C-alpha cells in the first residue's frame, strides 16, 4: 500500500438487531518512513442505500507515530428498509469508511468497507406515506369541526 497511511480492516458486528447501536472500528497507522510526523486525517462514513439517508458525522483526528483508530457508533435507521427487506426481515448494508489526508500538495482518499445486516422487528407496523402528503394527512377541515 502506498502513501502516508495504512488502513487496517474494519472490525464490527456482522449482524445487529433493530434499534441496537453498532460500533465499527478501523485502525489507521503511519507507514514506517513517515512515523516522525503528525498527520491530520478526516474520516467519513456512510452506510445508506438511499440518497435521502444522511451520512454519519465526519471525524477529524491527528495521527502520530503510535497510530490511531477511527471509531463510528450509530443506530442504523430501519425506515430505510425496502419493502422486500421488510418481508424477509433482514436489512443488509455496506458501511464504507473513507479517510482523507494531505500528502505533499494533494489530497489523498483511502477507503475500506464492511457488510453488515440488521434483523428487523417484524411486529412493527410500517406505514409508508409519500412526503408531499405527510403535512396534510390528519388535518380536518374547519367546516367539519
Distance CA 100, CA 6 (A): 12
Q: Which domain holds residue 115?
A: 5-144
* Number of domains comprising the chain: 1
pLDDT at residue number 125: 52
Distance CA 48, CA 69 (A): 22
> In Å, how far are 48, 87, 120 from 123, measured between CA atoms?
23, 11, 9
Q: What is the DSSP letter of 56?
A: P
pLDDT at residue number 126: 52
pLDDT at residue number 107: 92
Distance CA 113, CA 144 (A): 55
Query: Quick one: pLDDT band at residue 54, thresholds 50, 70, 90?
Result: confident
Query: Is the pLDDT confidence value at 97 over 90?
Result: yes
Express each pLDDT in 17-41 by its tens digit.
988 999 999 999 998 888 788 899 9
CATH, residue 117: 2.60.40.10
pLDDT at residue number 7: 93
pLDDT at residue number 108: 92
Amino acid at each position: 500500500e502506498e502513501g502516508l497511511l495504512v488502513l487496517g480492516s474494519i472490525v464490527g458486528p456482522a449482524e445487529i438487531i433493530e434499534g441496537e447501536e453498532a460500533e465499527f472500528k478501523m485502525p489507521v497507522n503511519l507507514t514506517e518512513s513517515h512515523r516522525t510526523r503528525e498527520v491530520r486525517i478526516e474520516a467519513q462514513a456512510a452506510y445508506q442505500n438511499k440518497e435521502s439517508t444522511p451520512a454519519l458525522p465526519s471525524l477529524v483526528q491527528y495521527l502520530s507515530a503510535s497510530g490511531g483508530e477511527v471509531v463510528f457508533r450509530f443506530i442504523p435507521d430501519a425506515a430505510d428498509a425496502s419493502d422486500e427487506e421488510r418481508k424477509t426481515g433482514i436489512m443488509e448494508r455496506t458501511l464504507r469508511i473513507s479517510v482523507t489526508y494531505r500528502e505533499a500538495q494533494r489530497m489523498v482518499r483511502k477507503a475500506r468497507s464492511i457488510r453488515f445486516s440488521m434483523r428487523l422487528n417484524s411486529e412493527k407496523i410500517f406505514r409508508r406515506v409519500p412526503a408531499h402528503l405527510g403535512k396534510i394527512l390528519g388535518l380536518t377541515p374547519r367546516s367539519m369541526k
